[in-house]
């Protein structure tokens, strides 16, 4: 048996001793993996290229972190701007509501120069009679509508 296969099996058994029951299957899998493994020789050109790729990746990560910080600052700016706009809308509304007439002790506080004149009973005539006439008219229209539907 190959030395690499023996080493791999020993490490696998150290991780999970129950794998010994599947040794034949593991041998086939490990042999296939080792056969498919590309034979790479490390030379100076490969090391130089790999180092450049890793440095570019590290630079990209640091740029991403800076961009994330700018994104956070942008969110804070939007939140502050929203708070200012809300204040600009709410404060005038409170002043407008404060200047509206208010009811105190059953009387209405109104603007200076205006007054409320209390009128006596039946100042507008007999409203009850009009209500009865309107009610009778509504009943007649309902009866006509019901008859038309038949």
Is 32 a domain residue? yes
What does the block give as tokens for 138?
A: 């509504």
Going by C-beta distance under 8 Å and a sequence separation of 6 or more, which residues neighbour residue 26? 9, 12, 19
- Residue 16 domain-assigned? yes
Q: What is the pLDDT of residue 133?
A: 59
pLDDT, position 130:
57
Judge whether 25 lies within some domain: yes
CB burial class (10 A; 0-12, 13-18, 19+) of residue 27? middle
Predicted TM-score (pTM) of this structure = 0.28
Distances from the Cα of 4 to the Cαs of 9, 30, 143, 147, in angstroms? Answer: 9, 9, 103, 103
In a domain, 71, yes or no: no
Number of domains in the chain: 1
Percent of the chain with pLDDT over 70: 75
**Domain that includes residue 10, residue range:** 1-39
Burial of 32 (0-12, 13-18, 19+ CB in 10 A): exposed
* 59 domain-assigned: no
Of the candidates 122, 123, 124, 140, which has an alpha carbon nearest to the alpha carbon of residue 132?
A: 140
Residues of the chain with pLDDT under 50: none
Q: Is residue 1 part of a domain?
A: yes
């Amino acid at each position: 048996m190959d030395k690499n296969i023996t080493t791999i099996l020993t490490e696998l058994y150290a991780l999970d001793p129950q794998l010994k029951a599947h040794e034949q299957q593991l041998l086939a899998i490990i042999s296939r993996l080792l056969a498919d493994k590309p034979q790479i020789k490390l030379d100076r050109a490969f090391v130089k290229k790999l180092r450049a790729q890793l440095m570019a990746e590290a630079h990209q990560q640091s740029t991403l972190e800076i961009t994330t910080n700018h994104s956070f600052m942008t969110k804070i700016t939007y939140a502050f701007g929203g708070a200012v706009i809300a204040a600009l809308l709410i404060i005038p509304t409170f002043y407008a509501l404060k200047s509206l007439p208010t009811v105190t002790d059953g009387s209405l506080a109104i603007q200076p120069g205006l007054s409320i004149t209390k009128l006596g009973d039946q100042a507008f005539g007999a409203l009850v009679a009009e209500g009865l006439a309107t009610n009778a008219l509504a009943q007649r229209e309902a009866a006509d509508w019901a008859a038309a539907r038949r």
